[in-house]
Amino acid sequence: MNEHAKTEAGRATYQDVLDAPEHMVAELIRGALHLHPRPAFPDARASSVLGGRIGGPFDWDEGGPGGWWIIDEPELHLGEDVLVPDVAGWRRERLPAFPTGPWLDLAPDWVCEVLSPGTRRIDLTDKREIYGAAGVGFLWLVDPLERTLEAFVLRDGAWVLAAALRDDAEVRVPPFEALGFPLAALWTG
């Protein structure tokens, strides 16, 4: 369930994010506080496996090209919005030193949202628009229930579908096309 809250002045603030219950993910989207529970296990597994599959060769330099920071659930401050994508990545040439603070205001180069019943609508609308406006170059949408991955590339301010994969297809799509892995690795059954 995605809960919305506004302050008496009509707009939620970062203090509302900080005051959110620890068991909830809090995001500030277009002036509204959005609270949703931590991911269900199939969603958490999909994002964890995805982060590991990409992190190995692209972040940890294990048999791949390296050059990235891959982070699970980073807190992003993009203008007035505070978002928590499931997985995000920055090219090290844009973010040479790993940040030490609790949040980052440099838009990632790549974001992945794992769609769940409680976050699906906002992931597909508001968050997608905010990522595009912030200049995120690549957006992946993973749906564990439908066993799909849609990969988008930002071109001239618009999201363009680069790949639509399902079930056990090989994932070899931008910006991580240098190495592939089976999409089925993300699913629990």
135 close to 108: Cβ distance less than 8 angstroms: no
pLDDT for position 122: 96
Q: Return the amino acid letter for 16.
A: D
Rounded to two decimals, what is the model's pTM? 0.93
The encoded tokens of residue 121 equal 């609508």
CATH code linked to domain 39-186: 3.90.1570.10
As to burial, measured by CB atoms within 10 angstroms (0-12 exposed, 13-18 middle, 19+ buried), residue 60 is: middle
39 close to 114: Cβ distance less than 8 angstroms: yes
Bridge partners, 76 (sequence order): 83, 104
Structural domain boundaries in the chain:
39-186
pLDDT for position 10: 75
Residue recorded with tokens 């302050």: 7
**pLDDT at 1 exceeding the cut of 60:** no
Residue recorded with tokens 């597994």: 45
